[in-house]
Amino acid sequence: MTESRKSLMLAALAKCVMGLVFMALLLFPAAGTMDYRGGWLLLGLLFIPMIVMGIVLLIKSPELLRRRLDSKEKRSNQRGVIGMSGLIFIVGFVVAGIDYRYGWSHIGDIGVYSAALLFLVGYALYGEVLRENVWLSRTVKVESEQEVISTGLYGIVRHPMYTATLLMFLSMPVILGSLWSLAVFMIYIPIIVVRLLDEEQLLRKELKGYDEYCQKVRWRLLPYLW
């Protein structure tokens, strides 16, 4: 393994471990116990595929992995969106833990496992987007050699990554068994809309062929809805 790949692997591993510890610190102290089945289920559903996906990207597309690790957003509007998303993430998980501690919500196993399935569907869509679009950065920008992707999921909606993210975000509080947390996570919908519209503004301005692509693919996020 080259030094660059080794450093990339260590950076990805560090982010994964930090994310796992951070989520655990949000969930379990708030729940008042480590015996929180929904918390363990979500951690497994989120981080096991993440590790597998990271290994695949490290082998197949290290440059894409490097783009996914870059979180230094330059656009002020997008920094605000990221900050709000992070706040929702923190508040939503803490609320879920407190909800579990005091038994405010009652979601049966069918609801929890249905949400888990929906989460995995979102993860599968996310993986497919990574396969289709090598330019997929975590930050909103246009690179010098970037091209419009119009095949696969991009032939159905313009922003399939956000569609996948929305499915995952809204299913997480249900996996955790918390309707109150779901109410918090619903705020993510207008936030993702703001992020998407700002990104489209940049792409229309700087990415050649994007206007024509928008005329070809009408739906931004959800087919036949918007």
Q: How far apart are CA 176 and CA 45, in angstroms?
A: 12
**What CATH number has the domain bearing residue 184?**
1.20.120.1630
CA 174 to centroid of chain Cα atoms: 16
- Quickly state the pLDDT bin for 3 (edges 50, 70, 90): low
Domain count, the chain: 1
When pLDDT is averaged across residues 86-97 and rounded to a whole number, the result is 95
Question: pTM for this structure?
Answer: 0.88
The answer to whether residue 222 is domain-embedded is: no
Which amino acid makes up residue 157? Answer: V
Which amino acid makes up residue 178? Answer: S
Report pLDDT digits (tens) over 131-150: 888 777 666 666 667 788 88
Q: Is 7 exposed, middle or buried (0-12, 13-18, 19+ CB in 10 A)?
A: exposed
* Structural domain range at position 181: 3-216
The answer to whether residue 225 is domain-embedded is: no
Q: Is residue 29 over pLDDT 90?
A: yes
Q: How far apart are CA 65 and CA 156, in angstroms?
A: 25
Q: Is residue 69 over pLDDT 80?
A: no
When pLDDT is averaged across residues 60-67 and rounded to a whole number, the result is 78
Q: How far apart are CA 81 and CA 83, in angstroms?
A: 5
The answer to whether residue 226 is domain-embedded is: no
The answer to whether residue 224 is domain-embedded is: no
The answer to whether residue 27 is domain-embedded is: yes
Q: Is residue 199 over pLDDT 80?
A: yes
The answer to whether residue 221 is domain-embedded is: no
